[in-house]
Structure 1
Amino acid sequence: MSSSTTAKLLGCDYWLVVSTPHASTTAEDIGAHVDEHIGWLLSLEETGSLLMSGPLVDGPEVRAGCGMTVLRAVDAAEARALAEQDPFVRAGLRSFDLFLWRINEGSVGITASLGTGTFRWH
């Protein structure tokens, strides 16, 4: 790849949190803490620390409590401190792995219609 091609890449760094439930964690355990978990995520969104988050719903070894979160943080220590506050982690239901993720390619499209109150993410 030429330097002129790589110069066009986005090159934004984020922290990818891959969460895995412990073997003993049940769907009922997750359900008991999901409201608190969502509240925690919304608070991260309000402060600008959350780019996106959601559960993994299919794939190898996916089950209740698997998820991914993309954080904005200045360094690994800050990202880890944020991820450790996840109510699922604090309740001992899951652990996480932390990765520095550099986003270079891709596209995002959002359509919001103010007149009809509709939203589309594509």
Structure 2
Amino acid sequence: MFVTKSFASLVAAGALLGLASPARAEVPASLCGTKPEMVDVMLRMIEQGVEKLYSDNKMFVSRDNRDGSMWAITLPNTTAHPAVACRTKAMDTAVLCNAGEKPCASFKDQALARFDKVNAKDQ
């Protein structure tokens, strides 16, 4: 498992800044079995069995080895931040993004491309 103190601080800061309750246009009922709130997603990312697979200057991708789900999470320097996309082994994808239609559409496209890149490496 890859966890840094700064990542744990990011989770705590997100909780303090109220990232759990922003105004939203569309909220999925669940994000790969997790409550669709950024704080809950970030807490899941630091649990046992979650490994970081990929990162660049816009987002990172992690896999939860307990259920095989993959997660793409934006970094603070992106216009869609905070946003998260998850994909199950069955290729179901859910996205939580509050940044507006254009940045969220761009984030979703980029997250799906990262998922495909990671899947290609796994095969």
Larger relative contact order, structure 1 or 2 (CA cutoff 8 Å, min sep 6)? 1
TM-score, normalized by the shorter chain, greater than 0.5: no
Normalised TM-score (structure 1): 0.31
Normalised TM-score (structure 2): 0.31
Question: Which structure's residues are more often strand, by fraction?
Answer: 1
